[in-house]
Structure 1
Amino acid sequence: MDNLTLWDFKSLLRQTEDNLGGLLMKFLCTAAAFSVAALVGSTASAQNVGIATSNPGSLFHNIGTAVANAANANGLNTTIQPATSPNQFIPFVNDGGIEFGVANLQEVNYSITGEAWWNGNKNENIRVVGQLQPLVEAIFVRKDSDIMTVGDLRGKAMTDGYTAQNTILPQLSAFYATAGMTRDDVEQVSVASVVAGANAFMAGDTVGFIFAHGAGKVREADAAVGGLRALGVDDTSDAALAAARAHWPTAFFKELKAGAMPGVLEDDTYIAFPQVVFTHAGASDEAVYQMAKAMYEQGKVMGETFPPMRAFKPADMRGDIGISEFHPGAIRFYEEVGLK
């Protein structure tokens, strides 16, 4: 402890707080999930179902809220249950503890095969309900800083670690790869989650943080520091995309126009990837059918709840999901409306 610097102490305190918060949310999610599961009835109109999301302020919390509102508008009584990240709540959905969840497709696929941070632990009961609009991501810095590109982050303090959100490090590495960099090229400041990373940035501990466009936490940070700059990829060539996909296989490049989101100061290109609503193999066919139907029919409600979801296209719900499988209840709905 004699050699503990002020920064070390702040970092340790922040990680301890985040980890304790993650454990608490995990406990609450588990308890609420089993409570919700016990209430499931025999018909869709009588069913109470839960959607697992990430913490408030995160993109998946906003998306889960929007999906729940769409389901409620169609008569499926739905509540959201927050946890720290999908790598914590996917196993609960897999085991039938809660009916639905929202996550990116790559993490869902890894969870099924047991690859990457799942360390061989397979969640083979996971099934997809439908695809949502793509998640578009950026590294954010202060608008008034001299950091204009990802390459300008070399040697500077950046959020890293993401001990409670394993999905973020390879996404961060994908961004660095487009600039010919690795995580070793920055000064790594360990945080537990993207929300904690944004907090570290606002506290002045880092020069930047990674987050999804459209999330409430990004808007909070934008207001807190007097404006953000969203760094796009440094190189949009096929070689750069291949370098990014070496870290995040479902990645693709997507252009946003100036002013489209906080921090997008000029037309620029960012990393994007598919995201999905998922369930488990034992979920009621009728409940899954009704959830797919609600998403398909209530896109307006989702867009009103969370404006970035105005990019959602019902016709894309049955897109390519890689090694994942659609739940039979979802397939029944898609066949009814002619989605191949």
Structure 2
Amino acid sequence: MRHYIASATFATALLATAASAQNVGIATSNPGSLFHNIGTAVANAANAEGLNTTIQPATSPNQYIPFVNSGGIEFGVSNLQEVDYAISGAEWWNGVQNPNLRIVATLQPLIEAIFVRADSDIMSVADLKGQRMTDGYTAQNTILPQLSAIYATAGLTRDDVEQVSVASVVAGADAFMAGDVAGFIFANGAGKVREADASVGGLRALGIDDPSDANLAAAREFWPTASFVKVAAGAAPGVLEDTTYIAFPQVVFTNADVPDEVVYQMAKAIYEQAAVMTETFAPMAAFNPADIMGDPGNAEYHPGALKFFAEAGLK
């Protein structure tokens, strides 16, 4: 089994952020990832609103969520399911709770797919049986249950493929571009997907062939916040025809002790500077400011965010 190793110097970056008292920081995944793109867009919106905001990348949310929980950095971007698990200590958090996390804003759903070469014979998730596929995700615990959720919609499990261990989604895309695997999982529209699309001469984003209630229930056995969404042909690399994909909510989160006024400004920026976010990262056009106060699961909204929502007339 080939291993791809990724490293991060996130703790050093956090110290630099903490030393700059005039700044607030947003923790993101590595460059090329969807959360890096989104974090950059949110930072630009916040800067347009008057906050002095910088981003600090790490390999994955399961690395930087504890830093937000401990107050090492003010904000982070992630999917709601991982924040829910982090608060309760469920799944890969192994009972370690992160009770200081609070939600600032609900963003557009993260739409996810398994990508293969467009010129391959793999036309569906079911065709992945027996293929060499990225797996392991040692630095990104959130990915394995997401993979399992996608496989479940085709009646497969991770044991039905030949597993090639990688550290992260970015490392997985690199393994694919090197020709070491037949497919990799990533968020639709991310920069790394565009890089892979150009590198191999075109991708196919495998969809959910049967978006039935039964298949959604099968996916939710592994990823409880999953939903199915339809994406139009050409909307993102690899979407070759109108196709249904798995999706789940994304959020901006913070620490309970971040001052209300700072969180208020961040929520206001996300709501009022949606155009800036779209200019930064085109897929942010799917964000509807009216949906910023989505269901937070077992999390709570920060009082600063609730103050803005009340002023904006949101419920």
- TM-score, with normalisation over the residues of structure 2? 0.98
Superposition map of 1:46-125 within 5 A: 47-125=22-100
Please, which of 26, 33, 37 is the counterpart of residue 18 of structure 2? Answer: 37
Match of 2:209 in 1: 234
CA distance in structure 1 between the aligned counterparts of 2:204 and 2:13, rounded to whole angstroms:
38
Please, which of 179, 184, 193 is the counterpart of residue 168 of structure 2? Answer: 193
| Contact 1:61–1:82 (8 Å) recurs in 2 | yes
Q: Structure 2 regions of 5+ residues with no counterpart?
A: none
Superposition map of 1:171-186 within 5 A: 171-186=146-161
| Offset at residue 278 of structure 1 (A) | 0.2
| Offset at residue 48 of structure 1 (A) | 1.2
CA RMSD across the alignment: 0.9
Deviations 1:220-239 (A, max 9, x none): 00000000000001321100
Please, which of 251, 258, 274 is the counterpart of residue 283 of structure 1? Answer: 258
Superposition map of 1:99-248 within 5 A: 99-248=74-223
Identity among equivalent positions (%) equals 74
| Offset at residue 284 of structure 1 (A) | 1.0
| Contact 1:37–1:99 (8 Å) recurs in 2 | no
Q: Structure 1 regions of 5+ residues with no counterpart?
A: 1-7, 41-46
CA distance in structure 2 between the aligned counterparts of 1:209 and 1:175, rounded to whole angstroms:
12
CA distance in structure 1 between the aligned counterparts of 2:49 and 2:138, rounded to whole angstroms:
38
Larger radius of gyration: 1
Deviations 1:101-122 (A, max 9, x none): 0000000000000000000000
Return the letter of the residue paired with 1:96: G
CA distance in structure 1 between the aligned counterparts of 2:117 and 2:16, rounded to whole angstroms:
43
Aligned residues: 315
Aligned residue for 2:113, secondary structure, equals strand
Return the letter of the residue paired with 1:30: A
Aligned residue for 1:269, secondary structure, equals strand
The higher relative CO (CA closer than 8 Å, separation ≥ 6) is in 2
CA distance in structure 2 between the aligned counterparts of 1:241 and 1:324, rounded to whole angstroms:
23
Match of 2:284 in 1: 309
Aligned residue for 1:295, secondary structure, equals helix
Match of 2:235 in 1: 260
Return the letter of the residue paired with 1:212: A
| Offset at residue 82 of structure 1 (A) | 0.3
| Offset at residue 33 of structure 1 (A) | 2.3
- TM-score, with normalisation over the residues of structure 1? 0.91
| Offset at residue 38 of structure 1 (A) | 4.2
Return the letter of the residue paired with 1:338: G
